[in-house]
A and B are shown apart, each in its own frame.
Chain A
Amino acid sequence: MTHPAQTEYAVELNGCTKEFVTPGGGSYFAVRDIDLKVEPGRFVSIVGPTGSGKSTILNMAAGLLNPSSGTVHSFGQPVDGVNRRASYMFQQDALLPWKSVIDNVSLGLTMAGVSKAEAYDESRRWLEKVGLKNFADRYPHQLSGGMRKRTAVAQAWIVNPDILLMDEPFSALDVQTRQIMENELLELWQESNKAVVFITHDLDEAIALSDEVIILGAGPGSTVVGSYDIDIPRPRDLLDIRDDPKFVDLHREIWGRLKVEVSRTYESAREEEESDAA
């Protein structure tokens, strides 16, 4: 590629395509020609119907997957192997079940060679921040779903990454807990200068949190079909934001686009079912 980066993007995907080989020997494209640029400090959400390859994009940005073609850069450097500038919050529980809460939180530090005492001090500060001060010695299975997510937040933030990759991190939580967690996430993020790539299938959540919402088309082989700037001023109050006229307008506009992709996904799924039945 001959265009040197003018701005150093925190995450930059250029023409990324990912092809998977199916067990039957065939192959299919998860995503095709993805261009994604995330500036440092920006909160970008990716929204798309099921099977549109949202996680694939995130995994390529994380360096967990290599694109079949195209390039991935992070702060001007090509991503080769795991992206060292990024932390990842997974949709599923990713805490190590055999480690206590504090050992889970301090893991990133201890593995980087920080002494155990120092790592524990820092972990306690983070546990206090996420409201789990008194649960340091519990094992993950002894916590509620919300508490496990808080632990995961602390685990991801403690290494002070420049990029946070979040794959539907709150989708398993009930609505109330989820709103609280979203509020807390925004507060943490506003104090920092971190780039966030947030994946969700919930348009409300995406608009409420983000500076920019990116819409993916129906899969397989989906690509970016729209990108919208969210100019609702910050700080935002997530509990009331859904009544904000700007929010309502943006939601109507973006949903108009997303709806097309969602119904396309739905139709192709139904066709497949019918052809299976036939």
Chain B
Amino acid sequence: MTVAPASKNVEKNISPAAAQKPRRKRAETSNFSIRMGQLALAVGVLGSWELLCRIGVIDPFFFPLPSDILDTVWVWISTGFVFPHLWVTLQEAILAFITGAAAGLILGFLLARVRLLERLFDPFLQMFNALPRVVLAPIFLLWFGLGIWSKVAFGFTLVFFIVFFNTLEGVKSVDRVLVDNAKMLGASEKQLLRHVFIPSALTWIFSSLHISVGFAITGAVVGEYLGASAGVGYAIAQAQGVFDTEGVFAGMFILMFVVLIIDLGVNRVERHLLRWRPPQQAS
């Protein structure tokens, strides 16, 4: 950046890259003003919430003061109260995600490649998918108890179907020409999977990973809420039991940030694995 002013005059006439420079700069400034606008929006909403509570327009019993919520978040974090709960929730979510995604991927690839299996399984998968998954939570509680496994099972049913249907669609929508080309170059079925189907399906799978990571955590929290002895959902349920709305909101905020951080990680992995895509599509 420091050399830019010196070379500016020279570049202007020759390099097409020079023509792009001002445009990028404009994009950066507009990006910056968007960020400022977002900040202003957040401050505005939270500020007016705080103000309306303090002058008594909003009942702080139902909508506690944002400052009190932050305070509770801080207490939960500084005393270490929330960490064992968070750890349990994350364990459940991670296990549900890994098992659900793995099963979804394997079955998705299998059914996409073996037409017979797809026709055989299709109605049953549709039936299970049509079932609102929340009604499974009570039966899983009975089957697997109050520990983490009932939540893992619940999260599994949420993650599995998303990953499965996206993988199935991703593999089936592979460009026919790419498959034919690889075949003509001598690809075996295994090599087709590795060089053509898996990379091509990755785009679809990743769009489902974003949602399924969220669903894994939803599964864990909802499961905990319905019956558990630990976890963030349990902590929220406990707070609700004693009409501690600050605690409920604090739990919500903590979950929100944890999911955001995990999503950033998924984004980074996605960007690396899909680096071959033209940039306008990737963004």
A interface residue numbers (CB < 8 A to B):
62, 64, 82-84, 86-88, 90, 92-100, 107-108, 111-112, 139, 141, 155, 159
Contact = CB atoms under 8 A, between A and B. Distances in A.
A114 to B, nearest CB: 11
Given A90-B180, A92-B177, A141-B278, A98 B199 contact: yes
B271 interface: no
A141 B182 contact: no
Contact of A99 (B180, B183, B274, B276): B276
B184 interface: yes
A97 B202 CA distance: 13
A179 to B, nearest CB: 25
Nearest to B180: A64
Contact of B277 (A96, A97, A155): A97
B280 to A, nearest CB: 10
Contacts of A84: 186
A94 B178 contact: yes
A29 to B, nearest CB: 22
A86 B195 contact: no
Contacts of A86: 184
Interface in B244-276: 274, 276
B181 A88 contact: yes
Residue with the highest number of chain A CB atoms closer than 10 Å, among B178, B185, B202: B185
B273 to A, nearest CB: 9
Nearest to B202: A98
Give the size range of B's interface with the partner.
20 to 34
A62 B199 contact: no
Contacts of A93: 177
Given A111-B195, A141-B277, A96 B183 contact: no
Contacts of A83: 184
B185 A108 contact: yes
A64 B176 CA distance: 11
Nearest to A81: B183
B276 A94 contact: no
A111 B276 CA distance: 21
Interface in B170-190: 177-178, 180-188
Nearest to B184: A88
Given A92-B177, A107-B195, A97 B276 contact: yes
Contacts of B274: 98
Given A98-B276, A141-B277, A141-B278, A111 B187 contact: yes
A94 B177 contact: yes
A32 to B, nearest CB: 24
Contacts of A94: 177-178, 180-181
A96 B195 contact: yes
B186 A108 contact: yes
Contacts of A96: 178, 181-182, 195-196, 199
B38 interface: no
Given A62-B180, A86-B184, A94-B177, 7 more contacts: A62-B184, A64-B180, A88-B181, A97-B277, A98-B200, A100-B276, A111-B185
